[in-house]
Amino acid sequence: MSKISYRALFTLPVIVSALGFFVDVYDLLIFSIVRVPSLQSMGYSEAEVSKIGTFIFNSQQAGLLVGGILWGVLGDKKGRLSVLFGSIITYSLANIACGFVQEPNTYALLRFVAGVGLSGEIGAAMTLVTEIIPKEIRSLGPTIVAAVGYLGAGAAYLTQEWFEWRTAYMVGGGMGLLLLLLRIRVFESGLFEEMKQSKVSRGNFFYLFSSWPRFIKYFKCVMIGIPTWFVVGILGTFGNEFGKALGIAETISPGKCVMFIYFGLTAGDFFSGPLSQWLQSRHKAIGYLMFCGAVSVGIYLYGGISSPSVLYAVCFLSGICTGYIGLYLMMVAELYGTNLRATATTSVPSVVRGMAIPMTLAFQAFKPSLGALGGAALLGLLCYGIALFSLTRIEETYGKELDFVE
């Protein structure tokens, strides 16, 4: 039996993909972190901040949905690297522009454009890394990318602590433009270069839905990911509202909630890849973490939390239990052929992020009758129930050969 080399985990494409995801997470979450102070500085009340903030957040998520389809198709038609370059230019410039915004409509438009750009980063990076790493250690590649990337949330929070919110946006955009210099030396996926020589159709988004089984497979891929944005988009983003509902006297910072969730995601992703390698299964590793995540949500909402420190600790725990995103996106990449792999792997997480729109709307609709805690509990039950059911009905991909087309 030949000795396994781990050298592929430390090649330039993996390192640059990890750094790219770091900037992507920073720029993706910066609005959630500066939502309250940025809108308060424009003179809005607490009630207006909640309403307007939800609108701007949903604008960003809509951009993610649109961009996920756009960049996914381009990734299979033009190559993984074209997406990595195009997407980072788009979201970097949009984030710099956010530093000059003066009113909510322009703010929402710029977050939409930023969302379009941000949607291309993670899917293209995960597709590239999944294709260039040997199947024997494939679980570890996306784990490194995701774990390093999620530290961007901590960087975003610390930046807005040290600087004014406008400066925080400019720092994120500036980091993205600097990253372009590193990307110049990254090479394209060999599987994609081989596939380009054939006449097979590439990047046909609608082919994903051309038959009922294909539609159901894509739908299940999306549903498996929705708990991730329930934790970030509901429990983290609206942490200040849950703090009040729990009777915590001190004001809870949504930015801190998001930061601790993402610190947990970093730890969870470092753990989930080796766990999948040890279990020799994607299903079991994701399923165990998802179940623990559902339990952590129950603790968050009904565990009798009475202090900010305990709430932030539970946010960290929820992040650990949700730290299967790198593994999950690798599973999506393994499910699809080379001619549709970027289309699926880029669009699926963007659709998942877009699901934050109906989730936030449902949460707002549930609150009047069920309260913040009851509304979140009902929504969480639906999200985790559908996700676990979908996971049990999808193909196991551990060790799967990727040299195939649809």
Give the separation between CA 232 and CA 356, rounded to whole angstroms. 9
First to last CA, the chain: 32
State the pLDDT confidence band at 378, using cuts at 50, 70 and 90. very high
pLDDT of residue 340: 79
User: Residue 15 and residue 9: Cα distance in Å, rounded?
Assistant: 8
Q: Mean of the pLDDT values across residues 362-379?
A: 92
- Helix, strand, coil shares of the chain, percent, nearest 5, are 80, 0, 20
Residue 400 forms part of a structural domain: no
Instruction: Note the pTM of the prediction, 2 decimals.
Output: 0.75
Residue 117 lies in a domain: yes
pLDDT > 70: percent of the chain: 89
In a domain, 64, yes or no: yes
d(CA 181, CA 184): 6
Confidence of residue 1 (pLDDT cuts 50, 70, 90): very low
Mean pLDDT of 159-175: 87
In angstroms, what CA-CA distances link 404 with 71, 79, 184, 337, 342? 21, 16, 28, 5, 13
How many Å apart are CA 169 and CA 97, to the nearest integer? 8
Q: Is the separation of the CB atoms in 289 and 191 below 8 Å?
A: no
Residue 127 lies in a domain: yes
| Mean pLDDT of the region 303-318 | 92
List the domain range (segments joined by +) for residue 385.
11-188+204-391
Secondary structure letter of residue 211 according to DSSP: S
User: Which residues, including other chains, have CB under 8 Å from residue 27's CB and lie 6 or more apart?
Assistant: 91, 92, 95, 114, 118, 152, 156, 172, 173, 176
The residue-averaged pLDDT of 145-162 equals 81
Q: Is residue 1 part of a domain?
A: no
Percent residues over pLDDT 90 in the chain = 24
The pLDDT score that the predictor gives to residue 184 is 60
On whether residue 198 sits in a domain, the answer given is no
Q: What is the mean pLDDT of residues 46-57?
A: 82
Closest CA to 394 of 343, 348, 338, 357: 348
Amino acid at 285: A
Which CATH number is 297's domain given?
Answer: 1.20.1250.20
Residue 81, pLDDT score:
63
> Would 227 be classed as within a structural domain?
yes
CA distances from 329 to 152, 254, 347 (A): 18, 26, 11
Give me the mean pLDDT over the 250-265 stretch: 86
| Range of weakest confidence among 183-192, 207-216, 254-263 | 183-192
DSSP 274-310: HHHHHHT-HHHHHHHHHHHHHHHHHHHHHS---SHHH
Q: In angstroms, rounded to a whole number, what is the distance separating the alpha carbons of residues 151 and 379?
A: 27
CA distance 307 to 292: 22
Rounded-to-10 torsion of CA 152, 153, 154, 156: 80
pLDDT at 277 over 80: yes
Whole-number pLDDT of residue 82: 66
399 HSE (CA, 13 A, CB side)? 5
> Would you give the distance in Å from CA 331 to the centre of its chain?
15
The least confident of 60-74, 108-122, 235-249, 288-302 is 60-74
For residue 183, the 8-state DSSP code is: H
C-alpha atoms less than 13 angstroms from C-alpha of 114 in its C-beta half-sphere: 34
Please, are residues 250 and 306 in contact by the beta-carbon 8 Å criterion?
no
- Alpha-carbon distance values, 53 to 27, 60, 249, 360 (Å): 16, 11, 23, 11
Q: Per-residue pLDDT tens for 59-75?
A: 888 888 888 788 777 76
Q: Say what the pLDDT of residue 139 is.
A: 75
Average pLDDT over residues 136-149: 78
Q: What is the mean pLDDT of residues 97-113?
A: 90
Q: How many domains does one find in the chain?
A: 1
Q: Which pLDDT value is given to residue 286?
A: 94
Q: What is the mean pLDDT of the chain?
A: 83
| Torsion sign, CA atoms 325, 329, 334, 336 | positive
- Tell me what the mean pLDDT of segment 275-299 comes to: 92
Checking if the pLDDT of 288 tops 80, the result is yes
pLDDT at 25: 83
6 located within any domain: no
Lowest average pLDDT, out of 127-136, 171-180, 210-219, 385-394, goes to 127-136
In this prediction, residue 188 carries a pLDDT of: 47
Instruction: Answer whether 345's CB lies under 8 Å from 358's CB.
Output: no
Q: At what angle do helices 12-40 and 46-77 cross, to 10 degrees?
A: 160
User: For residues 237 and 233, what is the distance between their CA atoms, to the nearest angstrom?
Assistant: 5
Question: Which pLDDT band holds residue 192 (cuts at 50, 70, 90)?
Answer: very low
pLDDT at 189 over 60: no
Question: How many beta carbons lie within 10 A of that of residue 198, not counting itself?
Answer: 11
H helices within 150-238, ranges in order?
151-162, 165-183, 190-196, 212-230
What local confidence, expressed as pLDDT, does residue 191 receive? 46
